[in-house]
Structure 1
Amino acid sequence: MTDDTRYRAHKVRREDRADGSILLHSGYEISPIAKTTGDWLHGWAETAPDRVFIAERSGPGWRELSYAEVLQQVRAIGAALVGRGMGPDTPILVMSGNGVDHGLLALAAQYVGIPLVPVAEQYALIPGAHGRLKHAVELVKPGMVYADDATRYADALALPEIAALDRLVSANAGPGMLRFEELLKDDSGVEIDTVHAGIGPGTVAKYLLTSGSTSNPKAVITTHGMMCANQAQLLDALPFLGAQPPRIVDWLPWNHVFGGSHNFNMMLANGGSLYIDDGKPTPALIGRTLENMSMKAGTIWFNVPLGFGMVTEAMKTDEALRRAVFSELDMIFYAGASLPQDVWTAMEDMAREVRGALPLMTSSWGLTETAPATMLQHEPTDRSGIVGVPLTGVTTKLIPDADMRCEVRVKGPNIMPGYFEDAAKTAEAFDEEGFFITGDAMVFVDPDDMSKGMKFDGRISEDFKLQTGTWVRAAGLRMEALKLLDGIASDLVITGADRKEIGLLIFPNLGALKKAAFETDTAENALIGPKLRGEIKRRLVARAGETTGSAALITRALVLAEPPSMGDGEMTAKGNLNFRKVLTRRAELLERLYDDADPAVITIKEG
């Protein structure tokens, strides 16, 4: 429980059913829900017309647009799109990343009922990934495609599937392309108020592509009602959002539901300000992120664990950056994986130093199909990895096994109606009671106290059986193996389905290995130097000595020379591995892994 009025105390109702399943509900009622995203925009344009809504870097400063300016431009763009014949059956495919024009186009499309389809910019920028871009075009059949810079996206814009569409660009428009500024002239003659009046909760706002980690991406139908309900649910749990306008400096990509629906709409729904961070948690771009965060203090900090780690490391020796980051911070929100405890502790120490108090440090759980937030840890906690309790209006159905590991299914106003033009997959996605089958597993933090929340425990589909019939919980084991091989593995795949032993296919962290002076030989796939080979074996042997049972014992490993290929589907746009694709594409290497005579295989056996 918490007496901090910034965050609402957990309150959970539990219902045990005769079939062994458990239903969890929030103990609070859901607040009123906006009809459309346009309601938020109109409301704040009237209440706080001069407040900055969206901004991006421009030279040494920022290009900032107020709520009033955004509404005026959204209406002009929306009218121009309708005037060009765009509508519900002519989606707009967005190839480029976050930017003010992208945001304006998204809101304008929603304002007049044109579905937006943002895809990962890697699909357009990496020639080997153009197949994913073509798949998206074939799937949603857009009537228009947008890119912020025709020069940067020239190869993708020239693809026959793209060149046949209306091509809208903000900069460096070539022949036959439509310049973004042309949409702002507001000379279409369209009665924009009449068009907007026809938009409602059931109107499609977006088709969001799933990550494709287990199959080809599907297009999730995302309605205004889903997104608006999700923001009401978040405000119910986090009252501080309504107490003062939030502000974020955020890089998380809008083709993903977390950045594009959760974060973007949180600012819009609560009259906040979104400063677009054009940096990223990579060695080449983290400097830009640090510069942006130094210039603008956020009240909420969203990031992935890697990003938090990189910024935290920089803050250790930069007092000005520490003060800029923590001076007004209400919440630190991590996603994608658990936040390492050392990073968690370091940020707590810095927050106490700067403010004398801690922000809420938290995470949530959800999927593209759930808009996304469905469970949230909205009480303070002292540890990472907890995803909390159901949000208002959500019913969570848990199907426990003998060890109280629960399969999770959900129902609520933030759940998708289905996948675009895929009745079969839609039918498979829901059970006989209408609950969405998430495929995720969770465990209770405290089985005797539901209010303590739940912890994510992997994907059901990633689990497999050994030849002995023993189940292996691959997701949890993978996280343990990554921690064990810190400084060696950038990622890895757990193997062993229908085999006698568990193994690892390791993608090496070449940068870290070089720093550690390990010798690697990439001339032949999977051959490595003796020093690295010995270190991997030493760690596996040490772990084996502390492991009981075949379900967690890793006996062998193979280091891969070729990095995962996005073009071949081994890596998703979010940077996650498609485990099935890796195992299929590298079937020969999988067989080598289980050949004790192969000199590249590292085993825990003697010799």
Structure 2
Amino acid sequence: MVFHSSFPAVDIPTTGVVELIFENRNNIPDNKPILLDAQSDRVITFGQFKQQVLQFAAGLREQCGFQSGDVLAIFAPNSLDYPVALIGAVAAGGASTPANPAYNVKELTHQVSLSEAKVLLCSPENVDIALETAQECGLDRSKVFVLGDSAVNGVLPHTTLIQPGRQLSAPVRVSNPTDQVAYMCFSSGTTGLSKGVMTTHTNITSNMLQVDALLGSHLSADKDQILGVLPFFHIFGLSVVIHMSLYWGIPLTVMSKFDLPLFCEVVQKHKISFSCLVPPILVLLAKHPLIDQYDLTSLKTIVSGAAPLSAELGNEVQTRLPHCTIIQGYGLTETSPVTTIGDLAAPVDGSSGILVPNMTIKIVKEDGTEAGVNERGELWCKGPNIMKGYIKNPAATADCIDNEGYFHSGDICVRDDSGNYMIVDRIKELIKYKGFQVPPAELESILLTSPSVADCAVIGVYDASQATELPRAYVVLKPSIQPTEATAKELMDYVASKVVQHKRLRGGVRFIDVVPKSASGKLLRRVIKDWVKEEEKITKIESKL
């Protein structure tokens, strides 16, 4: 059964990303502040933004020999100048590949090399890593720049590319937006070496209008304020935060990274009304005592994404922030990213929302047959926002995009009678206990309802004596709770009281200080699995002594 969006189709732009923003469909005045710094009084107006984008594009072309099809790598945390550089490279006829600022030389070299970046832009804190990477990739030092106004270790500031009187008259024309790549974000690497995703101009522009179709009527450029705290190198922050703010003309206050006290201060000071967040931040909003010390009543809308948000956690935040509507979106880097998003007019707890326009979905069972309403299966999706493919990896592309154009997400999904989609779990993360499938996200959502638990992760641990995986929880306790055997048993009993027998925590409970997560908020289960492997090695060695 093929599911369609209940929304009318949107007209897919035939222009590029920058042209759509500059088209200014929402009549944004040039003197309107559009980018604001969370920790200073610095502001960039919409007119200044457009001018700086064209100046940066001219600087890239004239000073760096940047040509159409070339790539700029950005290796920096969020900043006010980030969107200018990100979109400036696209205006110059090229593409941007944003990299995680926490990368080491090996990780950054992988991305710069695979994307064939011709220019590397870094932040003052990671100049040394950028320079070493440039050397590894054969990139001349003159093609490395640092964000800001000052040189660092001899590396020129990016402002040397932004010169008065030197700017393009217009963005370089995109002749084939369905094929020309605008961005190359890299997957989070939760299952190994990250893959580069080729996102075209049409992928981004179509998703901008798809998101606008569901959210646009609920927002006002005159009244709303958006907070940019999600990392801009991630597709969620890049597309839904940066591009939608610029398209709507709603001021975007930029935080370099998440910090709870600063987050609360910024919301209170700037009267933030809309923010895209991830579940780990929502855990803090639900449970941290600091929240009560601030006036967060301006915050009217939270869109959660990047990882599953349980109905229980959503309700906890809703109880604490009764003035705020919390919806969830679903998507991947490969879908540019939004596939489904909650309906602000009628949000449904635990749902990842309804299908955006111009998309179709199939839910496919393990036996290959198509599921119907209220039946589980893998989510396959098709639409103008599906990526072009993985960089230099046609085999991986062919593995996930079939000959009908459907992207196979690897996520297990259920659609209800009203068109709401619930993401149950990742296929690869399912725990197999004696043939039964155990979704770790379900157990995590239950544990998070315990008054003893601050955060948690669940994985499967193989037990050779039973020839099966056992669900094991790794738990961060609240400060007032002691990590004792009694506490572990209490949590195991707590879960057992809420699940069927095969979903019990038979692998036990381990206490940890921090749950490992990527910068986008996804659980890094592979890191925990590596801990288990090391424990097993030690156990084997000790058993031989």
TM-score normalised over the length of structure 2:
0.85
Structure-2 change in CA distance of 1:194 and 1:363 (3 Å)? closer
- 2:426 aligns with one of 441, 451, 459: 459
Alpha-carbon distance between aligned partners in 1 of 2:89 and 2:482, rounded to the nearest angstrom: 53
Match in the other structure for 2:309: 338
Structure-2 change in CA distance of 1:406 and 1:339 (3 Å)? closer
Structure-2 change in CA distance of 1:387 and 1:46 (3 Å)? closer
Alpha-carbon distance between aligned partners in 1 of 2:341 and 2:515, rounded to the nearest angstrom: 32
Pairs within 5 Å for 1:308-319:
308-311=282-285, 313=288, 317-318=292-293
Match in the other structure for 2:93: 113
Structure-2 change in CA distance of 1:155 and 1:279 (3 Å)? closer
Alpha-carbon distance between aligned partners in 2 of 1:434 and 1:205, rounded to the nearest angstrom: 20
Match in the other structure for 1:397: 362
Match in the other structure for 2:115: 140
Alpha-carbon distance between aligned partners in 2 of 1:480 and 1:538, rounded to the nearest angstrom: 13
What is the SS of the residue equivalent to 2:520? coil
- Higher mean C-alpha deviation, range 490-499 or range 29-38: 490-499
Pairs within 5 Å for 1:56-71:
56-57=37-38, 59=40, 62-71=41-50
The CA deviation at 1:418 is 0.5
What is the SS of the residue equivalent to 1:457? strand
What is the SS of the residue equivalent to 1:145? strand
Asked if the contact 1:399–1:406 (Cα under 8 Å) also holds between the matched residues in 2, the reply is yes
Extract unaligned runs of 5+ from structure 2: none
Pairs within 5 Å for 1:57-136:
57=38, 59=40, 62-83=41-62, 84-123=64-103, 129-136=104-111
What are the superposed Cα offsets for residues 26-75 of structure 1, whole Å, 9 maximum, x if unpaired?
Answer: 1332223342222243233975111111121454xx21111111111111
Match in the other structure for 2:488: 536
Asked if the contact 1:482–1:491 (Cα under 8 Å) also holds between the matched residues in 2, the reply is no
What is the SS of the residue equivalent to 1:555? coil
Match in the other structure for 1:424: 395
Q: Is 1:287 matched up with 2:253?
A: no
Structure-2 change in CA distance of 1:388 and 1:63 (3 Å)? same
What is the SS of the residue equivalent to 2:275? strand
Amino acid of the residue matched to residue 90 of structure 1?
Answer: D
Alpha-carbon distance between aligned partners in 2 of 1:495 and 1:187, rounded to the nearest angstrom: 63
Alpha-carbon distance between aligned partners in 2 of 1:579 and 1:349, rounded to the nearest angstrom: 29
Amino acid of the residue matched to residue 277 of structure 1?
Answer: M
Structure-2 change in CA distance of 1:455 and 1:213 (3 Å)? same
Q: Is 1:304 matched up with 2:278?
A: yes
Alpha-carbon distance between aligned partners in 1 of 2:175 and 2:347, rounded to the nearest angstrom: 47
Structure-2 change in CA distance of 1:267 and 1:219 (3 Å)? same
Structure-2 change in CA distance of 1:72 and 1:121 (3 Å)? same
Alpha-carbon distance between aligned partners in 2 of 1:409 and 1:377, rounded to the nearest angstrom: 19
What are the superposed Cα offsets for residues 429-458 of structure 1, whole Å, 9 maximum, x if unpaired?
Answer: 1123220000101123x4xx233x121100
Alpha-carbon distance between aligned partners in 2 of 1:594 and 1:576, rounded to the nearest angstrom: 31
Asked if the contact 2:447–2:456 (Cα under 8 Å) also holds between the matched residues in 1, the reply is no
What are the superposed Cα offsets for residues 253-288 of structure 1, whole Å, 9 maximum, x if unpaired?
Answer: 1111111111111111112211112451xxxx2111
Asked if the contact 2:174–2:180 (Cα under 8 Å) also holds between the matched residues in 1, the reply is no
Alpha-carbon distance between aligned partners in 2 of 1:139 and 1:493, rounded to the nearest angstrom: 32
Alpha-carbon distance between aligned partners in 2 of 1:485 and 1:590, rounded to the nearest angstrom: 32
Match in the other structure for 2:209: 232
Alpha-carbon distance between aligned partners in 2 of 1:31 and 1:590, rounded to the nearest angstrom: 54
Give aligned pairs, total.
Answer: 526
Match in the other structure for 2:535: 589
Alpha-carbon distance between aligned partners in 2 of 1:100 and 1:374, rounded to the nearest angstrom: 28
Amino acid of the residue matched to residue 380 of structure 2?
Answer: R
Match in the other structure for 2:33: 52
Alpha-carbon distance between aligned partners in 1 of 2:69 and 2:536, rounded to the nearest angstrom: 45
Alpha-carbon distance between aligned partners in 2 of 1:239 and 1:191, rounded to the nearest angstrom: 31
Structure-2 change in CA distance of 1:490 and 1:450 (3 Å)? closer
Amino acid of the residue matched to residue 422 of structure 1?
Answer: N
Q: Is 1:494 matched up with 2:446?
A: no
Amino acid of the residue matched to residue 111 of structure 1?
Answer: A
The CA deviation at 1:307 is 2.3
What are the superposed Cα offsets for residues 490-541 of structure 1, whole Å, 9 maximum, x if unpaired?
Answer: 43423248854543555453xx4654344xxxxxxxxxxxxx1232123324
Amino acid of the residue matched to residue 554 of structure 1?
Answer: L
Pairs within 5 Å for 1:365-514:
365-381=330-346, 383-400=348-365, 404-444=375-415, 446=416, 449-451=417-419, 453-466=420-433, 468-481=434-447, 483=449, 486-487=452-453, 490-496=456-462, 499-500=466-467, 502-509=469-476, 512=477
Amino acid of the residue matched to residue 438 of structure 2?
Answer: V
Alpha-carbon distance between aligned partners in 1 of 2:354 and 2:463, rounded to the nearest angstrom: 33
The CA deviation at 1:424 is 0.7
- Higher mean C-alpha deviation, range 304-313 or range 271-280: 304-313
Amino acid of the residue matched to residue 196 of structure 2?
Answer: A
What is the SS of the residue equivalent to 1:574? coil
Alpha-carbon distance between aligned partners in 1 of 2:445 and 2:115, rounded to the nearest angstrom: 35
Alpha-carbon distance between aligned partners in 2 of 1:470 and 1:558, rounded to the nearest angstrom: 20
Asked if the contact 1:303–1:333 (Cα under 8 Å) also holds between the matched residues in 2, the reply is yes
Structure-2 change in CA distance of 1:291 and 1:572 (3 Å)? closer
Structure-2 change in CA distance of 1:33 and 1:170 (3 Å)? same
Which protein has the larger Cα radius of gyration, Structure 1 or Structure 2?
Answer: 1
What is the SS of the residue equivalent to 1:100? coil
Amino acid of the residue matched to residue 344 of structure 1?
Answer: N
Amino acid of the residue matched to residue 300 of structure 1?
Answer: F
Match in the other structure for 1:208: 185
Amino acid of the residue matched to residue 200 of structure 2?
Answer: T
What are the superposed Cα offsets for residues 133-186 of structure 1, whole Å, 9 maximum, x if unpaired?
Answer: 22212321211111232x554344344337844111134424552321211115
Structure-2 change in CA distance of 1:307 and 1:587 (3 Å)? closer
- Higher mean C-alpha deviation, range 391-400 or range 472-481: 472-481
Alpha-carbon distance between aligned partners in 2 of 1:302 and 1:505, rounded to the nearest angstrom: 30
Match in the other structure for 2:12: 33
- Higher mean C-alpha deviation, range 369-378 or range 30-39: 30-39
Structure-2 change in CA distance of 1:485 and 1:406 (3 Å)? farther
- 1:179 aligns with one of 157, 166, 179: 157
Alpha-carbon distance between aligned partners in 2 of 1:546 and 1:490, rounded to the nearest angstrom: 17
What is the SS of the residue equivalent to 1:208? strand
Match in the other structure for 1:7: none
Alpha-carbon distance between aligned partners in 1 of 2:321 and 2:264, rounded to the nearest angstrom: 16
Alpha-carbon distance between aligned partners in 1 of 2:137 and 2:474, rounded to the nearest angstrom: 34
What is the SS of the residue equivalent to 1:404? coil
Structure-2 change in CA distance of 1:591 and 1:553 (3 Å)? farther
Amino acid of the residue matched to residue 232 of structure 2?
Answer: W
Alpha-carbon distance between aligned partners in 2 of 1:547 and 1:67, rounded to the nearest angstrom: 53
Alpha-carbon distance between aligned partners in 1 of 2:539 and 2:506, rounded to the nearest angstrom: 10
Amino acid of the residue matched to residue 463 of structure 1?
Answer: L
Asked if the contact 1:386–1:456 (Cα under 8 Å) also holds between the matched residues in 2, the reply is yes
Asked if the contact 1:102–1:148 (Cα under 8 Å) also holds between the matched residues in 2, the reply is no
Asked if the contact 1:267–1:273 (Cα under 8 Å) also holds between the matched residues in 2, the reply is yes
